[in-house]
Amino acid sequence: MTFDAIGIAGTALTVHRKWLDAVSDNLANMNNATSTNGPAFQARYIEAAEGADGTGVYVRSTPEGDAEGRIVYQPDHPLADAEGYVRYPDIDLGEQMGALIVAQRGYQANAQLVDRARETYLAALEIGKP
C-alpha cells in the first residue's frame, strides 16, 4: 500500500510513452506516399483503460486508422498511377500535434509524481532514524 503512488504513476508513464511513440510514428509517416493499388500508412492510436482494483492504467488496444487514406493528384510523383494519383495516409497534423502535447504533459506530470512520492517515502524513512 505504501508504494501505490509510484506503481500507479509508473503504469501511467508506460501508457503515455506508448502514446508518444504512436504519435511520433504517425507524424513521421504522414507524408509517405504509396501507389493507389496499395494501402496507405495506417495511423496508430492508443486506447487506455483502468487496471483492476484501481492499480493504474494499461494499454487496452492499439487501433489503427484507415488504410484507404486520401488520394491526391500528383502526376509528377514517381509512384503516381496512370491517371496521376498517389495515396497518402489520412493523418491530420493538428490532431496529432494536440495529442503530442497532451501525451507529453501527462508523461511529465506522472514523472513529477514519481519524484515527489520517492522524496516523501525517503523522508518518512528518515523519521525512524536516531
Per-residue pLDDT of the chain (130 residues; tens, 9 = 90+): 456 888 899 999 999 999 999 999 999 999 999 999 999 999 999 999 999 887 899 999 999 999 999 999 999 999 999 999 999 999 999 999 999 999 999 999 999 999 998 888 888 888 877 7
Domain range list for the chain: 4-127
Please name the residues in contact with 58: beta carbons below 8 A apart, sequence gap of 6 or more: 11, 14, 15, 48, 49, 51
d(CA 113, CA 49): 20
Tell me the β-bridge partners of 71. 87
Grid cell 504519435 is found at 23
| Phi and psi based region of residue 53 (left: phi greater than 0; alpha: psi -120 to 50; beta: remaining) | left
Measure Cα distances from 20 to 6, 17, 34 in Å.
21, 5, 25
For the whole model, what pTM was predicted? 0.86
